[in-house]
Amino acid sequence: MLLTDDGRLQHRLTDPRWGHWRRYRVQVEGIPQPEALVRLAEGVVIQGRRTLPARARAIADPGLPERDPPIRHRLSVPTAWLELELREGRNRQVRRMTAAVGLPTLRLVRVGIDPMDGGVPLTLDGLAPGQWRVLTAGECRRLSRGRP
């Protein structure tokens, strides 16, 4: 979602010590039960390590554009959408977390990142697929502030 050639900023955005929340919209196979959402929020064990606590909730279809190529479609298996927010970014973490609670990921879109200072998050709102924008100087300063 965010392209940069600033190594220091990239480190601050991806290292969990900096505490940036990353927000994802996740289409899963199956219907999430409350227990699965609680497990995701408390953290699940993947690759032998427990994930940090997350924020997890079921959401209505977010109205994202159709995926090309389309995801697999099975008439007998329902799908649902979740919003997950994580403070860490392990390899394929969202996919592994949803699989651990019995909800395989079909589609995954990162839609936002929150700065450490609790300010306005950076989101994809208002951007069409393939569209991009340059961060403002103020957004760059906010993302670069703080200490782990």
Q: Is residue 1 part of a domain?
A: no
Is residue 113 within 8 A of residue 25, CB to CB? The reply is no
Q: What is the CATH number of the domain that holds 45?
A: 3.30.70.1560
Domain with 80, as residue range(s), is: 7-144
SS3 per residue for 123-139: ECCCCCCCCCCCCCHHH
Which of 19-33, 78-92, 128-142 bottoms out in mean pLDDT, i.e. has the lowest?
128-142
Tokens standing for residue 64: 């994202």
Q: Is residue 43 part of a domain?
A: yes
Q: 17 lies in a domain?
A: yes
Task: Let me know if residue 109 belongs to a domain.
Answer: yes
Residue 124 lies in a domain: yes
pLDDT in tens, 69-83: 777 777 778 999 999
- Provide the pLDDT for residue 145: 66
Q: Is residue 2 part of a domain?
A: no
Is residue 91 assigned to a domain? Answer: yes
Question: Strands 105-113, 122-123: parallel, antiparallel or unpaired by DSSP?
Answer: antiparallel
C-alpha to C-alpha distance for 131 and 62, rounded to whole angstroms: 18
Cα four-point dihedral sign 17, 21, 27, 33: positive
- Total tally of structural domains belonging to the chain: 1
